[in-house]
Structure 1
Amino acid sequence: MKLDILAVGAHPDDIELGCSGTIAKEIANGKKVGILDLTRGELGTRGTPEIRDAEAKAAGEILNVAVRENLAFRDGFFKNDEEHQIEVIKMIRKYQPEIVLCNAIHDRHVDHGKGSKLVSDSCFLSGLRKIETIVEGQNQKAWRPKQVYHYIQWYDMKPDFIVDISGYMDVKMKSILAYRSQFYDPSSKEPSIPISSEIYKESIRYKAYDFGRIAGVQYAEAFTAERHIAVDSVFDLI
């Protein structure tokens, strides 16, 4: 299955928080989008890996993604080394995305920046023919995505571009709240964490509103780019 976009997150829910509005919009426009989670989020204070697996599945169905896979790397302890790069390369070559969306280059959680660099390096290495990967007895062909973009997460960062998600804010929130173990749920008996409060839930919408304010739209998501973005015409920027 070839994808137009592969969205990658260190933990289940990273993608929903960072770029689910963009994903929903591109799927509505006919693009094929998949999600790859690097870990099962097993070190999270709330929930269990099994609960988060089920929540991730539900969130993916809400977004109507074509596929969602989990590499089950060790939460908190995966590395940007050859062993982990090869596993990510296998996924890139399997789905051959034109665009990869991944974690913020620097963020509050140590796995976010680490996952960002791991995926970025793997996208480059995936294009090298002399790196051999074999899946189900078949040699994979080299493949390098055309662009790698990083969604902005906890820390405020200056975006390189902003995507209008005004018509997709509700589906973004619905996908986020599929993670009932992690986010605001007044009936939960789990310990409180920074992202489980009602204030944080409201801040998700506010953040999208603030990015939208910058761009002159209602709601938006923001990204950074690894290299300058070229357009065919200045009118593509309108």
Structure 2
Amino acid sequence: MTKLDILVFAAHPDDAELGCSGTIASHVARGHKVGIVDFTQGEMGTRGTPELRLQEADAAGKILQLSARENLGFKDVYFQNDEAHQLKLIEMIRKYKPEIVLANAVADRHPDHGKGSSLASTACFMSGLRKIETELDGVQQEAWRPKFVYHYIQNNYIEPDFVVDITPFWQTKIDSILAFQSQFYDPKSEEPVSFISDPDFLPFIEARAREFGHKILVKYGEGFTVERMIGMDNLFDLI
């Protein structure tokens, strides 16, 4: 079973690609093992089908060179931060034993993003409680709590607590996003126009990345918020 260095939780297929795929690509390039667990198949989305979204997620995972990608099959829009859903996330955390978890934005335009953020945070804490028992493939799992939980920033502007330089991996980010062909602008598509299929949406993604990059004097960046204060023992680790 693959132990991951970073596990990314995402309410919908394409959340991780839009929010933090540059960070994923940069850490994979450094030799870290990264995986994504999508909560839903995005079946309530305006465009595409659940089956197609799964195919697109697989294609994006190959572009990002993920070590693992799973879909929990939660009900899009209707999933909650409750015991049943928490236990499924705990199974994933204990399965992959990540040091770091990246999760949805703490608040956003789509209510599932805030719910996904809260669910991930709750499950990461609960996963460390040994009296919560879970099994995977008939084998009892050991308690595991990630060291850090960071939240990527999505549609709504949130002032980041830190920014990751993704400049060398910008094209990889774009390629991973465009793997979701059903969701974004396609002049040949006959499906209804959605919020993210508007031709101005991808330029917005670039503008946001340039804005965050500008804050740390690089071309492109991805912003994150933290749940607890970040510490360091070497000021020269900062860029």
**TM-score category, normalised to shorter length:** over 0.9
Measure how far apart 1:51 and its partner are.
0.7
Amino acid at match of 2:93: I
Matched, 1:184 2:191: no
Unaligned 5+ segments in structure 1 are none
After TM superposition, give the deviation of residue 205 of structure 1 in Å.
1.2
Measured in 2, the distance between the counterparts of 1:186 and 1:139 equals 51
State the Cα distance separating 1:108 from its structure 2 match.
0.4
User: Letter of the aligned partner of 1:53 in structure 2?
Assistant: L
Indicate the residue corresponding to 1:22 in structure 2. Answer: 23
Match of 1:167 in 2: 168
- Distance in 2 between residues matched to 1:48 and 1:137, nearest whole Å: 32
Aligned to 1:221: 222
Between the aligned partners of 2:225 and 2:72, the Cα distance in structure 1 is 25
* Structure 1 residues 117-137: Cα deviation after superposition (integer angstroms, max 9, x where no partner): 001000000000000001111
Counterparts of 1:23-42 in structure 2, within 5 Å, are 23-42=24-43
Q: CA deviation at 1:101?
A: 0.2
| 2:84 equivalent in structure 1 | 83
Q: Which string of whole-angstrom CA distances, capped at 9 and with x for unpartnered residues, describes residues 4-50 of structure 1?
A: 00011000000000000000000000000000000000000100000
Report the 3-state secondary structure (helix = DSSP H, G, I; strand = E; otherwise coil) of the residue aligned with 1:22.
helix
- For 2:182 and 2:222, the matched residues in 1 are separated by 24
What code does the residue aligned with 1:157 have?
I
The one-letter code sitting in structure 1 at the alignment partner of 2:148 is Q
SS of residue in 2 equivalent to 1:198: coil
Equivalence for 2:46: 45
CA-based RMSD of the aligned residues comes to 0.6
2:111 paired residue number: 110
Q: TM-score, normalised by structure 2?
A: 0.98
**TM-score, normalised via structure 1 length:** 0.99
Q: How far apart, in 2, do the equivalents of 1:157 and 1:204 lie?
A: 14
Count of equivalent residues: 238
Report the AA paired with residue 17 of structure 1: L
* Unmatched tracts of structure 2, length 5 or more: none
Amino acid at match of 2:27: E
Q: Which aligned segments of 4 or more residues in structure 1 are displaced greater than 2 angstroms?
A: none
Distance between the aligned counterparts of 1:164 and 1:11, measured in 2?
24
Distance 1:235 1:48 in 2: 48
Give, in whole Å, the separation in 1 of the partners of 2:184 and 2:163. Answer: 25
Aligned-pair identity (%): 60
Residue of structure 2 equivalent to 1:152: 153
Separation (CA, whole Å) in 1 of partners of 2:75 and 2:195: 22
